[in-house]
Amino acid sequence: MGSGKHFDLFRTSEDHEELRSAVRQLAEDKIAPYAAEVDAEARYPQEADDALTASDFHAPHVPEEYDGVGADALATCIVIEEVARVCATSSLIPAVNKLGSMPLILGGSEELKATYLTPLARGKGGFSYGLSEREAGSDTASMKTRAKQDGDEWVLNGQKAWITNAGVSEFYTVLAVTDPDAKRGHHVSAFIVEKSDAGFSFGEKERKLGIKGSPTRELIFNDVRIPADRMIGEPGTGLPLALRTLDHTRVTIGAQAVGIAQGALDQATSYVLERQQFGRAVSDFQGVQFMLADMAMKVEAARGLVYAAAAKSERDDADLGFHGAAAKCFASDVAMEVTTDAVQLLGGAGYTQDFPLERMMRDAKITQIYEGTNQIQRMVMARKLLTAAR
């Protein structure tokens, strides 16, 4: 897939477009046929997992030195976008593998990276991200999960909430308070927890509006003992690392939102071309054409913002924080709007499970909420603007 270090911001490379074609083909052949069933039964999309893993699309971001394919940030976004176009649940496999392992990539020792990124790249275990708690969602610094040092081990106690692919993933990046007396923001450290660690368990699956096939569960820590070398980076650096991770991974949620919106637009366009009313194709009516034009315009604007943010993520630009927040916020708002309009264009049919639009509309909603609500994204953007202006 190439390093993509100098790709043209306004034109995807040939490699990127070849990748898009390959992922689209795989998604349509091996993921789309199961999407409705996965949603209806709220079951993990194992067919998608198998297909993505066999093609090295399950964690394309892992660098080549750890047996990964070393996809750049834009290539990773294209994978997520194309999978989300047919099944948002399945697109969380590459998205969450990046989210869970990004703190390790940004702050881990070489030894720790080799230990955990290599099996991830080889498809031997997914990676989830344990930051949020029931009472510490947007306000992450108020988390209650604790890690206490005991010789050459750390002992974890507490809970994490809303964890994507919990119970399926083998590895978990977990943020915990290691020094309650330290200054706020410098009291948290990051650890890697393995699914098999004694005392580590999972809560019941949440019953959700959308992305139903991706399990969302609590992580529960009861005296979970972790070797000291499983801390990512230095003690007290967990929160800045977690927030830096989100700067990068919000771009991937933007990509997921673009994929959902594109899928809905494609479905609606096909339907109005075939559907007849008053002796004409519904697509002949100007009111319908204007809706489609607005939908397509917004999807392209969102895609441009996401791809520009992906370029900044690849370079680790200083203004990534603003652009990552903007891409996630704008694209997810567009996804909600476009999927709602797509349901409307199908009329009564759009409201039924005979077509995928109602699923896409339900799936789109979460993109406005997770990895920071869109209210939080606006706060992030405003702070960056005001800081720059001072």
Q: For residue range 134-169, what is the model confidence (pLDDT) as tens digits? A: 999 888 889 999 999 999 999 999 999 999 999 999
Question: Position 113: which residue type?
Answer: K
Cβ contact 176:131 at 8 Å: no
Q: Residue 283, class by beta-carbon neighbours within 10 Å (0-12 exposed, 13-18 middle, 19+ buried)? A: middle
Q: CA-CA distances (angstroms) from residue 139 to 84, 266, 372, 383?
A: 29, 38, 10, 16
User: Judging by DSSP bridges, how do beta strands 200-202 and 188-194 pair with one another?
Assistant: unpaired
The CA radius of gyration of the chain, in Å to the nearest whole number, is 21
CATH architecture for segment(s) 127-236:
Beta Barrel (2.40)
Q: Please list the active-site residues.
A: 371
DSSP state, 27? I
Q: Please identify, in words, the CATH class of the domain defined by 14-121.
A: mainly alpha
In degrees and rounded to multiples of 5, residue 177 shows phi and psi of: -75, 120
Tell me the H-state helices in 108-181.
110-121
List every span in the chain annotated with CATH 2.40.110.10.
Answer: 127-236
> What stretches in the chain show pLDDT beneath 50?
1-7
Give the model's pLDDT for residue 8.
Answer: 57
* 181 sits in which H/E element: none
The pair of three-digit structure tokens given for residue 74, joined into one six-digit string:
């834009």
List every span in the chain annotated with CATH 1.10.540.10.
Answer: 14-121
d(CA 180, CA 41): 43
Number of Cβ atoms within 10 Å of the Cβ of 179: 14
d(CA 175, CA 177): 7
Question: What is the crossing angle of helices 238-274 and 357-366, to 10°?
Answer: 160
User: Judging by DSSP bridges, how do beta strands 127-130 and 171-177 pair with one another?
Assistant: parallel
How long, in residues, is the chain? 390
d(CA 257, CA 267): 16
Give the model's pLDDT for residue 11.
Answer: 84
Q: Is 115 left (phi over 0), alpha (psi -120 to 50) or beta?
A: alpha
The pair of three-digit structure tokens given for residue 201, joined into one six-digit string:
């368990």
Give the model's pLDDT for residue 2.
Answer: 43
Residue that has been written with the tokens 């999960």 in this structure: 145
Tell me the H-state helices in the chain.
14-26, 32-41, 46-54, 73-84, 88-107, 110-121, 238-274, 286-315, 320-345, 357-366, 374-389
d(CA 34, CA 25): 15
Cβ contact 220:203 at 8 Å: yes
In degrees and rounded to multiples of 5, residue 287 shows phi and psi of: -60, -40
Cβ contact 236:186 at 8 Å: yes
Cβ contact 344:275 at 8 Å: no
How many percent of the chain have pLDDT more than 90? 96
DSSP state, 63? -
The pair of three-digit structure tokens given for residue 60, joined into one six-digit string:
């394309």
Task: Please provide the average confidence, as pLDDT, over all residues in the chain.
Answer: 96
CATH architecture for segment(s) 239-389:
Up-down Bundle (1.20)
Residue 322 CB contacts under 8 Å (≥ 6 apart), including other chains:
380, 381, 384, 385
Give the model's pLDDT for residue 9.
Answer: 56
